[in-house]
Amino acid sequence: MENERKLTIARSMAEATAQEMRRDENVFVMGEDIGQLGGVYGNTRGLIEEFGSKRIRDTPISETAFIGAAVGAAQDGMRPVVELMFVDFFGVCFDAIYNLMAKNIYFSGGKFKVPMVLMTSGGGGYSDGGQHSQVLYGTFAHLPGMKVVCPSNAYDAKGLMATAIRDDNPVVYMYHKSLQGMGWLGTEQGATVHTPEEEYTIPFGEAKIVKEGSDVTIVGVGLGVHNGLKAAKLLEEKGVNAEVVDLRTLVPLDRDTVFNSVKKTGHLIVVDEDYQSYGLTGEIIATIAERDITALKASPQRVAYPDIPIPFSRPMERFALPNPEKIVNAYAKMKEQ
Amino acid sequence: MENERKLTIARSMAEATAQEMRRDENVFVMGEDIGQLGGVYGNTRGLIEEFGSKRIRDTPISETAFIGAAVGAAQDGMRPVVELMFVDFFGVCFDAIYNLMAKNIYFSGGKFKVPMVLMTSGGGGYSDGGQHSQVLYGTFAHLPGMKVVCPSNAYDAKGLMATAIRDDNPVVYMYHKSLQGMGWLGTEQGATVHTPEEEYTIPFGEAKIVKEGSDVTIVGVGLGVHNGLKAAKLLEEKGVNAEVVDLRTLVPLDRDTVFNSVKKTGHLIVVDEDYQSYGLTGEIIATIAERDITALKASPQRVAYPDIPIPFSRPMERFALPNPEKIVNAYAKMKEQ
Amino acid sequence: MLPTSEKKKWMYENMLVSRFFEEAMETIYMEGKTPVFNMAEGPIPGEMHLSNGQEPCAVGVCAHLKPSDVVTATHRPHHQAIAKGVDLKLMAAEIFGKKTGLSGGRGGHMHIFDADVNFACSGIIAQGLGPAVGAALSKQMKGDDSVAVAFLGEGAVNQGAFHESLNLAAVWKLPVIFVIEDNSWGISVSKADSTAVKHNAVRAQAYNMPGRFIADNDPIALYDVAGIAIEDARAGKGPTLIEVETTRLAGHFMGDAEGYRPDGELDRLKSKDPIVRMKNLLIDEGVITDDENLQITQKAQKLVDEAIEFARESDYPEPAEALDKVFV
Amino acid sequence: MLPTSEKKKWMYENMLVSRFFEEAMETIYMEGKTPVFNMAEGPIPGEMHLSNGQEPCAVGVCAHLKPSDVVTATHRPHHQAIAKGVDLKLMAAEIFGKKTGLSGGRGGHMHIFDADVNFACSGIIAQGLGPAVGAALSKQMKGDDSVAVAFLGEGAVNQGAFHESLNLAAVWKLPVIFVIEDNSWGISVSKADSTAVKHNAVRAQAYNMPGRFIADNDPIALYDVAGIAIEDARAGKGPTLIEVETTRLAGHFMGDAEGYRPDGELDRLKSKDPIVRMKNLLIDEGVITDDENLQITQKAQKLVDEAIEFARESDYPEPAEALDKVFV
Ligand SMILES: Cc1ncc(C[n+]2csc(CCOP(=O)(O)OP(=O)(O)O)c2C)c(N)n1
Ligand SMILES: Cc1ncc(C[n+]2csc(CCOP(=O)(O)OP(=O)(O)O)c2C)c(N)n1
Ligand SMILES: [Mg+2]
Ligand SMILES: [Mg+2]
């Protein structure tokens, strides 16, 4: 591409944040190691140099206090962007998230705004063990009052971050470590894409058909989208033309785009790195089934994480993770029945 | 019934706990106001009188510490029964639950046992507002490593509690306030049933068909079962013969019983007081759809809590809660399509 | 920092409004709940935590506050809300679950939010501490001299959020005051059974922060100490922890049989009712006459009556309004 | 309580094993990670937190422990595990993700569990404190004189679990010792930027608990203080908080460029390497000769070499074993 400007998700998140900080002096960033270190996942790199330590604030390891503080600051007119280093740590501070951040707008009858972004990393595949590899999308998306964003590439990451910061509602921005473009985590190349320098926003609640197809709809989010695209390539070799849908935001969820795609293809596979049961995959399947069961010409399939804690050892972790081959097998299984 | 011995769930939980405490001196109870007060929901009433304050321990308002302590005690050979007063409070201590209690068996390769029961109340309908009315079943059931039990009546409550205390794995025992038989919460009479005095256990992972039927399967848990039964009565008046399935445990989940029922009736309605999206209702529908889509003769329906924080005001709360009429309407909608 | 006569009068009036409000709650709450007590019934359903006896804690602090100052309150919030200047009618309507309530009935008694006077509360123990720290951070970043106050019970002190929030406030030298209303009970669990120290004010040392203890539910002593703390906070000198020894004259919530209270405790506490003591003080000091007291009392009662009437007469929200205001 | 010569030798030997283990980790970790550093690659993938420099904290405490005593450790657990007597081969195999590992490869470096010596750890900051309190409760209820020890970093002190756990331990007078390894950094955030007090030992006052400060990474002074604390705990006198001033000689984790360290800090710390100091002390005191030192050193290195060899030669688990051991 001419004038191509390939950015990693890490850089595109930092760029969007910097642009929003220039636009609005009320935007500031808090979290562990987001200052001089630039964030363990690089998404605040360069910010402290430009904005200083008053607006780029390293915190103690006190997630309950500083996420609660973000809510208080947001209600007082600031626009905090706050980082929970790994989503796995949500258990030490979830009250401040799901019961406070997510509910104060409602409890106040809309009189309080809570314009804040909680960004957090997720995802495994690099042997970081069971307390540092989860995605936990379903847990956040299940509980009302917060928007949930999961970008699959740098272009979306930037536009969704700008939208998140400008939103007067709390937004949980869940980025996947393997897409972050940090070499040390092994990087999905497909996430590092052309990203314009100028500001832009991407609306929430609009899934994107990242590959059109006619035979089966593969629905995913984050890294799942890349698994879906790779599976689509493999399926193509077998003469199967898959459509791949990137949900982009889980709340709001663009059910129409998914439904219309399945209506067209008649077949549905949902990919998710989150634990299988009571989560995203069930929701997508139910969304189609309840709307019109006849849209499904075969039993829909899911390729998700089994209901086990995440094992450390490489062969076991690989076994458990979703991958393109599993998606291809799911298609075969669906057609067998 | 002759020799009928009707017990409330509160009393049957306390009875099972007392019996287990007599059998095994390692069983003890911890939590807020579970001593002299007997538990806000009555399920530890009478225990401190029999077992004293060493084995029935009131705690400070420090859920992270005392649930974490229960894990440590369980790993050291004790069998703690610990109470989280309202499940809504899980946010202040979820790390100790989902990341510690639920994972240490796996992390230790099965070398550590974690024989503990976390009992917790849920449910609304009495205007207790958005931080005291949630059920949150889906959130617990979604995360691996803990069994999840939700009794719908006193007979089950007692047997499931005995099983929970004897289990070497962590069990989350979620009881519904409206079923508890505490007059001051308004009580579902159907939950107070004959309960034998002698000890007995009920295995986990066995759903119960509480009413047989041929036309539609209504699946629920806890209070949902009673809504299902009432809906079945209303449907009967319309000549529809509904089958009602009480899941009893969400983890393990008895998918076979649900599937076989739907296979028979061809129609599925899932009732849940938990937030609708990314939760129990989706899981049950997906379970059937993925196994055999042809089992479903019409679009399955769900009657769940909308994706909103729980409102205080009675008309709004009533509007949002599942009820028998909504189930009947769901059936009508399903047949319309 | 001693209160002027005006301030003392304001404090007394405010305490009266608060007490009358709670007395009204007590009566109305029981409507529809006899002969069978069922929390779900009556014009005010749900839990109800009354603040009778704890009024000094609220007025002693809030006497120093302006509307832009932020207060985060507890599950027992009425006295705190009233002292902060939350509109009494709108609050009453909220507690009744009416459309005209502060939040249109979405919040209820444990979720009183008033953006006009920057008041919020919560049903989760110690949940307000983080937000108070954040509001103080916001004030500091904006260069505004407003402060934040977080109220909490002595039981709440043992929640992790207390520790994290005080440390963060101290590290960042934020204008926030933490006020512990020590009524010596967390539901049925006594402070002695739950807390490793005799005085929570001591815990300020763990945060390099001043810790002040106010004995005997004394609003005047609290006024003094809170005044200095708030002045310090406005001047950029950082946070303070204040512990107030107070009394819970009611049950933990309505319906609490209080079997756990030692014999005679309640009588002893009631004999030291802060409303009576404040009245006596003001009369002894010549701040008010008996006549003025009668007027003040009647005015306070009228305010409450009007608020209750407003609440009673207001309409309920439409059921489907439940779906609104999840997002703004 | 001064260590005997035997104890001193044990401490030194143990420190050496720990250091050699970390040095082995350091080298092996980089296998497969050059020229491009990718945490996912090599025989030891994932995060790797080395304990170089912090050995005194582990040996000074664990020298007093028996197998039935419980230790809950941190994300930086190797020195703590080794001092507690965790089997070195099985631990190495676990870190390599092998079937022969302590947990069959399910745990990894941040999840070292050994039921034989009652050792557990966690990747979540301060998560081990509650379980240590609970283990101590279990001991107390059983009338057993065993104790529990929770290790934590100075950064972890600002987590709510610290506050709740210390209060609970104090209220119930439990036999538990909390040991803060203060290396003055929480990843890139300095203690000064995160903590309101200069010495965390002061925070013991908030729990009516003895708080002891050990300066200068001194294993002998720690042995003394820990010995008294553990003796007290065994005797039913309740918990103690110990703060040890220590040094992190490596990055936070492998791959950390440490740009945040002030110039010269690392050199200064390295010049005070506790292993060297311990060796000098033992030689100066005549506890060991140069010759004995050589033997001890070789023996320690051999232990580590054998453990690594065992780990390398062991098989990986079958992939589908991932599905086992979710429940027992
Ligand atoms: C995190 C959490 N745990 C438990 C509760 C239940 N609860 C409500 S009030 C209360 C007692 C609070 O005691 P205290 O802080 O002293 O306030 P008081 O009721 O005495 O005003 C408890 C345990 C809660 N709301 N939140
Ligand atoms: C609850 C939680 N928050 C954040 C982290 C990420 N984290 C891992 S180690 C660390 C620093 C810990 O510092 P300290 O307690 O001083 O231990 P040290 O690493 O210095 O040994 C952080 C923030 C975590 N693991 N858990
Ligand atoms: Mg109290
Ligand atoms: Mg440290």
Residue range A35-82, pLDDT digits in tens? 999 999 999 999 999 999 999 999 999 999 999 999 999 999 999 999
> What CATH number does the domain containing A313 carry?
3.40.50.920
How many residues are listed for chain D in this entry? 328
- Please give the residue of chain A at the shortest CA–CA distance from B287: A282
Instruction: Residue B272: give the domain boundaries.
Output: 208-336
Residue at a domain's end among A143, A160, A194: A194
* CATH classification number, C5-312, choose in 3.90.950.20, 3.40.190.10, 2.40.170.20, 3.40.50.970: 3.40.50.970
Burial-class residue D244 by CB neighbours within 10 Å (0-12, 13-18, 19+).
Answer: buried
Neighbours of D185 (CB within 10 A): 22
Q: Give percent of chain B above pLDDT 70.
A: 99
- Tell me: do B190 and B276 sit in the same domain: no
Q: Residue A321 falls within a domain, yes or no?
A: yes
Catalytic positions of B, please?
Answer: 63, 132
Domain boundaries, chain D: 5-312
For residue B2, the model assigns a pLDDT of 65
Q: How far is D170 from chain A (nearest CA, A)?
A: 22
For residue B141, the model assigns a pLDDT of 98
Q: Residue A310 falls within a domain, yes or no?
A: yes
Q: Residue A61 falls within a domain, yes or no?
A: yes
- Tell me: do B325 and B262 sit in the same domain: yes
What are B240's two structure tokens? Answer: 């529809």
Tell the residue number behind the tokens 């910010």, with chain if given: A47
Distance CA C4, CA B326 (A): 61
- Tell me: do B163 and B215 sit in the same domain: no
Ligand nearest to the CA of B61: 1
- Tell me: do B170 and B84 sit in the same domain: yes
- Tell me: do A180 and A223 sit in the same domain: no
Distance CA A188, CA C219 (A): 63
Q: Residue A238 falls within a domain, yes or no?
A: yes
B237 alpha carbon, distance to own chain's centre: 29
- Tell me: do A186 and A241 sit in the same domain: no
Mean pLDDT, rounded, for A179-205? 91
Closest CA to A75 of A45, A51, A111: A111
Q: Is the pLDDT of residue B1 over 70?
A: no
**Total number of domains constituting chain B:** 2
For residue A2, the model assigns a pLDDT of 65
Residue at a domain's end among A140, A166, A194: A194
Over chain C (328 residues), what is each successive 10-residue block's mean pLDDT? 96 98 98 92 97 98 98 98 98 98 98 98 98 98 98 98 98 99 98 98 98 98 98 98 98 95 96 98 98 98 98 98 98
Model confidence pTM above 0.90: yes
Q: What angle do CA C88, C91, C97 make, to 5 degrees?
A: 145
ipTM of the complex: 0.98
- Please give the residue of chain B at the shortest CA–CA distance from D326: B106
Q: Is the pLDDT of residue A184 over 80?
A: no
Q: Residue A66 falls within a domain, yes or no?
A: yes
Q: Which chains pack against D, by 3+ Cβ pairs within 8 A?
A: A, B, C
> Most distant CA pair in chain C: distance in Å?
57
Q: Do B130 and C111 touch (CB under 8 A)?
A: yes
For residue D122, the model assigns a pLDDT of 97
- Tell me: do B143 and B212 sit in the same domain: no
- Please give the residue of chain B at the shortest CA–CA distance from C259: B37
Q: Is D195 helix (H, G, I), strand (E, B) or coil?
A: coil
Å from CA of C190 to ligand 3 middle:
8
Q: How far is D182 from chain B (nearest CA, A)?
A: 22
- Tell me: do A110 and A216 sit in the same domain: no
- Tell me: do B86 and B232 sit in the same domain: no
Give start and end residues of each alpha helix (H) in chain A: 9-23, 47-55, 63-75, 94, 104-107, 137-142, 154-166, 223-237, 255-265, 280-291, 314-320, 324-336
Q: Is the pLDDT of residue A1 over 70?
A: no
Distance CA D132, CA D139 (A): 11
Task: Give the pairing type, strands C185-186 and C189-190.
Answer: antiparallel
- Tell me: do A25 and A157 sit in the same domain: yes
The mean pLDDT value of chain A amounts to 97
Contacts (Cβ under 8 Å, ≥6 apart) of A173: A13, A117, A118, A119, A120, A149, A151, A160, A161, A164
Q: Give percent of chain B above pLDDT 90.
A: 96
Regions of chain D short of the pLDDT cut 70: none
The mean pLDDT value of chain B amounts to 97
Q: Residue B199 falls within a domain, yes or no?
A: no
Q: How far is C116 from chain D (nearest CA, A)?
A: 32
Distance CA D46, CA D35 (A): 17
Q: Do A62 and D45 touch (CB under 8 A)?
A: no
Q: Residue A200 falls within a domain, yes or no?
A: no
> What CATH number does the domain containing B103 carry?
3.40.50.970
Query: Which residue, judged by its Cα, is nearest atom 19 of ligand 2?
Result: D186
A194 given a catalytic annotation: no
Mean pLDDT, rounded, for B297-315? 98
Residues with CB under 6 A from ligand 2: A 32, 61, 85, 89, 92; D 75-76, 123-125, 153-156, 183, 185-187, 248, 252
- Tell me: do A222 and A312 sit in the same domain: yes
